[in-house]
Structures are given as structure tokens and as C-alpha cells.
Amino acid sequence: MSNETQYARGYEIGGIEISKSQVRSVVLHLGLYGFAGLFLVPYVWMASTSIKPEYLIYDSSPHWLTTDVTFEWYRVILFESPVVSWTIATFALAAVGTLVVVLVDSMAAYALARLEWPGRRIVMGIILASFMVPAAVNLIPIYAIVSELGLVNNLLGIIFPYAAGVFGVFMLYQFFKNIPEELEEAARLDGFSTTRIFFRIAVPMQFPAIAALGLFSFIGLWNSFLWPLIILQNEAMYTLPIGLVTLETQEVTDPGLVMSGAIIASAPLLILFLAMQDYLFKAVALQGTVK
Amino acid sequence: MSTGSTADTDRPKGLLERLPFVSDSRSARESLAGIGFASPFLALFGLFLLFPLAYGFYISLFNWDPVFIGQSEFVGLSNYTRMFEDPVFWTSLTNSLLWTLMIVPLVITVPLVLALAVTKDVRGKWFLRTVFFSPSMLTVAVVALIWMQLYEPTYGPISYYLGFIMENPPNWLNSHTYAMPAVVIASLWGGMGVNFVIFIAARQGIPERLYEAARLDGASTWQMFRDITLPQMKHALLFVMITSLIASFQVFEIIFIMTDGGPGQNTQTMVVFLYEAAFGNQNFGYAAAIGYVLFVILFVISVANYYLLEGYTSRVEGEVIEGDTNE
């Protein structure tokens, strides 16, 4: 374009332009860190409520930090509520469910991407089309089927419908497609069976993608709410999200109790997140680039 | 279907190989393996995703009794006609549209702006990224419970601080006007992380030389955003837009926990309506019909969305290419 604007943002032109970009940078930092500060407010409130004694919680002027620290809420929630059994149930749901999803999805994705079998293309078409089926739509019929199968109050009643989702198959399909043909041919010439090729070549090669799917499934199941709410009808079997909400809706709700419970429910995932952050970001980013 | 080779056609054929789609032992084994590998998933997929689609319609034709299915009474399409005469249905549909109109622009623009800012030359990228994404790791139940504390009218901090600048701060979650925006804010805090990370990845995927060339041409920041960033991020934007639309139309948890559809029916959206019909009023046939109508609505929305955006983004790309050739 024009020559006047060409040098307008360069450093060499003099004092004014330099400070302009510095101003920009300051504004950018102020904006970002200001917003980040706002984003942290709910965490601070959760943490402080969980260690404040009752008189500070109910005080009409907020106490963000306190020197009067109590661990009474943690004692009550750990020893006088079913939170420990909820945690075990949540962990069992997330762990078993993740295993099922990862195994079943990677096998199916491999079969669809690498093996020739009658009906493969039709099946792939149906799987792609069912991306359009929103989860909430099937709520009633799946509930009817799960209760017919006697899986109400059973973690499998949550895991099976979850594992029927097509996202994992579709995602891994793209990755298995990328394995070079020659590698598989060579393995076949060496007398490898399909099962062996799958476990010894395909899975190790695309392990990052499979692990990413595992991570999503674990987080998704740990945090799942609607389906466990419908399927688990016995308080002792609740998962953490459901249990916490029943704590909240009891006649006398103690904010300190609910917030300490919220911290107990979130801590495992927040630690997992901090430990695997870079990896998780890569995995999430995959979603948007899979076409 | 078969990838038959001629080398082993002389051999006697086994039973499997005599099937029309199998011509030699290699593809016979492959077919068996393929079906075997796919079948665990296909069984789950069939039973818990495909079959329910048809079964849901069947259920919607009955006054469904989930315990004694045999006693369900066939009512034809009356669950559907009843729905269209039910004012609660129209309220829920309006609320879902309203919720979508509020949350979708926010859950796209806020993470987009933050992602573009964070990918600039800033200090503490790691910290900022962590802060903006981390609420998405929390279960929606925790997000809802925290924000209920923040919005609490007597001891919550939001009302306290608003008390300085206005006489009567709204009782957020019990207010006809403010309940939905209040839940929208909570939902934005807890639900924008994934979009944020997708946008960061998409922005990092744009070759820097495009910006360098534009800068040499004297393009303004706005021009670079409009002509490079947006079209280059087309796929990510499209993906985020469609998933956000579909997700927002199915919102349930955060509303169920924070307001349970209230006050009155002010925040009752379609899925809350569906849930209440089934598990509140034991009207399973009616709830199945609601599910079906929801399906049709979502189908129309996502197809329309896809074509509208495809058209728009290719037009933008066309302009850029034209612009290039003009120079």
C-alpha cells in the first residue's frame, strides 16, 4: 500500500512511535492480568469459605482472607458425610469408563481405518452422521433401555451409554489412517497377526492420541452430572458432583461444608491438570484441528 | 470389497471364503478381524445410540410406563399436539433461544480475544493460559456451587460491592430479569477454556510471514485481523461455533443446580423442561416427544449454521485472494 504508513510502526522513526507500542503493551498486560484477576476471584472465594468459621461466612461484608482459620468443615465433610464413598465411586466410574472407551474406540477406529471388511464404509458413514445426534435427545430411550437391562444404580449403566459416543472413534480414525502402509505390510510379511499389529505397531505409534482420548474420557466421566443423576438413585452410590449438589439442597446448607466438598471434588482434576498441562492443551487443540 | 490377489486362487476354498464378499484367505482373515475389532464398539453404539433414536420415537407415541411397559397406553401423536399447546414448551423454547443468544457470542468472542492477546508478546503466558483454562477442569456442579455463593444476596460478595454503587443490588438468582444473565456469566467462566485452547492452537498455526507481508504493505491491526486472522482460523471458528451452539441449546446442569428453571419458569430451558417432564412428572412419553422436537431443532440449526458460515468464510477468502492478485 502507501509509503507513508509503511514505516509508521517501525522503531526507527522516533520517540512517539516507540512509546506508542509500549503503551499498547502496557494496556495489553493490564487487560490480560486484570481479567486473570477476575478469573481467580471464584477460586479465592471457594478456598476462603472452606476455611472460615461460620460467623465470618455469614458476615455481610466479605472476608477474602482470614486469620481465624478453621478446618472444621473439612473434618465434618470427611468423617460425617459419604464424601469418601462418593470419591471412590467417582474414581471407579472414571477409571473403568476410560478403560472401556479407550479399548473399544481404538479397536473400532483401527478396524475402520486399516482393515477391509464388508460394510465398513456404510458403518463409517453412519458413525459420521451420528455426530449430529445430541446427547440430550436420547435421554429417555436410553434410560428406558438401561432400566430394562437392570443397570439402574450400576456404574455400567453410565459407562455403556458414554462409550457409545462416536467422538473417540472418529478422532482415532484420523490417526490410524496416518500410519504408513509399508509398515503394516512389512509386519504382515513377518507373519504378524492383525491383533499383534494392532497392539505392537498401531497402538504404540498413535499412543499420544489414544492417551489424549483417555484423558478426555477420564475428565468427562469424573465431571459428568446429568446421566449419573438419572441412573444413581441411592445416596451411597452417588458420584461427587451429584453428592455435592445434594449437600447443597439439604434443609440446612453450610456454605463452608459445600465449598470444602467442592475443593475435595476438584483437587484431583486440578492436580492432574497442572501436572499434564502442556500435554492436555495439545490434546484439546487436536479437537479443533480434526476435520 | 475384497482385495483379492490371484496368487492363491487354486487353493480349495474354506466356508468363509465361499461367501460372496470374501475371495481369498488373506481378505477372509482381514474381514473377520475387522468385524471382530469393530464389534464391541458397534454393539454399544447400536444399543445405546442408534436404537434409542428409533425407540425414542416409539416411546413418544405412548403414555409410557417405564416400570410396566406393557401397560403403556398408545396415544398416537397426541404427545406432540399437546406439546405445541403447552405454554411451558414455548417458554422453554424461548428461554433456550435466549440463553443461546447470550452465551454463544460470549463463549466465542471472549476466548477468541483472550487467545489472540495471549499469543502476542506478553509476559507470563503460562500463568495466563492456566488461569483462563483451569475452570474448565471443574465439574459444572462445582462451578454452579461457587457462583451460588458469590451471588448470595445477604452474605455474597457481589451484592456487597454492588451495594456501594446502587441502592438495591439485584437478588441475582431469584430475579426475573437477572437470573439468566447471572447463570450465563457463571457458565462462561466455567465453560470457555476448551474454546480458548482451540483458538490458541489455531492462531499459532497461522504462518507469521502472512503478517509480516501485510505489515510491509502497511495493513492496520484491524485489517490484519479481518483479512488474515479470521479467514485463517476458519476451521477452528466453525468448529467452535457449531459445538457451542449445540451445547448451549442442550444446557442443563448449571441451570438445574443454580436456579432449577426458576424463578417461575424464567430460566427453564428445553432440557430442563424435558428432565422435569420425565423425572419430575413421570411423563416419559411426553419427555421423549420433547427430545425429538429438540433433535429436529438442533439438526436445522447445525445444518443452517454450517452452510451460512461456509458461505461467509469462503467469501472472505475470495476477497483476500482478489486483493492479492490486484497488487
Domains along chain B?
16-60 (no CATH), 78-326 (1.10.3720.10)
Domain end (from A70, A91, A113): A70
Continuous segment of H or E residues that includes residue B74: strand B73-74
Does residue A44 form part of some domain? yes
Quote the CA–CA distance of B255 and B273 in Å, as a whole number.
11
Cβ atoms of B316 and B231 closer than 8 Å: yes
Average pLDDT estimate for A151-157: 93
Partners of A270 on chain B (C-beta within 8 Å) are: 134, 137-138
Q: Which of A2-11, A13-22, A280-289, B288-297 has the lowest mean pLDDT?
A: A2-11
Q: Which of A31-40, A67-76, B104-113, B249-258 has the lowest mean pLDDT?
A: A67-76
Q: Which residue has the higher pLDDT, B29 or A263?
A: A263
Mean residue pLDDT of chain A comes to 86
Task: Tell me what pLDDT residue B13 has.
Answer: 52
Supply the pTM of this predicted model.
Answer: 0.85
Q: Give the count of alpha carbons within 13 A of B250, CB side only.
A: 24
Does residue A230 form part of some domain? yes
Does residue A222 form part of some domain? yes
Assess whether A66 and A99 both reside in one domain. no
Assess whether A96 and A163 both reside in one domain. yes
Domain end (from A19, A51, A70): A70
Q: Which residues pair with B62 in a beta bridge?
A: B74
Does residue A75 form part of some domain? no
Question: In chain A, how many domains are there?
Answer: 2
Assess whether A36 and A104 both reside in one domain. no
Assess whether A215 and A189 both reside in one domain. yes
B155 contacts A57? CB cut-off 8 A: yes
Q: Does the complex come out with an ipTM higher than 0.95?
A: no
Average pLDDT estimate for B159-173: 85
CATH value at residue A90: 1.10.3720.10
For A186, the domain range is 80-289
Assess whether A18 and A86 both reside in one domain. no
Interior CA angle at B100 toward B50 and B309, to 5°? 75
Continuous segment of H or E residues that includes residue B62: strand B62-63
Could you tell me if B196 lies within 8 Å of chain A, comparing CB atoms? Answer: no
Whether B52 has a pLDDT exceeding 50, the answer reads yes
Assess whether A193 and A238 both reside in one domain. yes
Assess whether A133 and A218 both reside in one domain. yes
Q: Which of A126-135, B54-63, B297-306, B311-320 has the lowest mean pLDDT?
A: B311-320
Does residue A204 form part of some domain? yes
Whether B6 has a pLDDT exceeding 50, the answer reads no
Could you tell me if A242 lies within 8 Å of chain B, comparing CB atoms? Answer: yes
For chain A, give the percent of residues with pLDDT over 70.
Answer: 91
Does residue A56 form part of some domain? yes
Among residues 63-122 of chain A, which lie with CB inside 8 Å of chain B? 64, 103-105, 107-108, 110-112, 115-118, 120
Confidence class for position A279, pLDDT limits 50, 70, 90? confident
Assess whether A266 and A144 both reside in one domain. yes
Average pLDDT estimate for A103-128: 92
Confidence class for position A3, pLDDT limits 50, 70, 90? very low
Assess whether A51 and A145 both reside in one domain. no
Domain end (from A47, A70, A93): A70
Confidence class for position B261, pLDDT limits 50, 70, 90? confident
Residues in chain B: 327
Backbone angles phi, psi at B177, to 5 degrees: -85, -45
CB atoms near residue A10 (< 10 Å): 12
Cβ atoms of A106 and A234 closer than 8 Å: no
B252 contacts A136? CB cut-off 8 A: yes
Q: Which of A91-95, A109-113, A283-287, B234-238 has the lowest mean pLDDT?
A: A283-287
Candidate from A132, A164, A269 with C-beta closest to B44: A164
Q: Is B63 helix (H, G, I), strand (E, B) or coil?
A: strand
Quote the CA–CA distance of B219 and A66 in Å, as a whole number.
52
Among residues 205-224 of chain B, which lie with CB inside 8 Å of chain A? 205, 215-219
Assess whether A212 and A108 both reside in one domain. yes
Average pLDDT estimate for B212-222: 90
Continuous segment of H or E residues that includes residue B183: helix B179-191
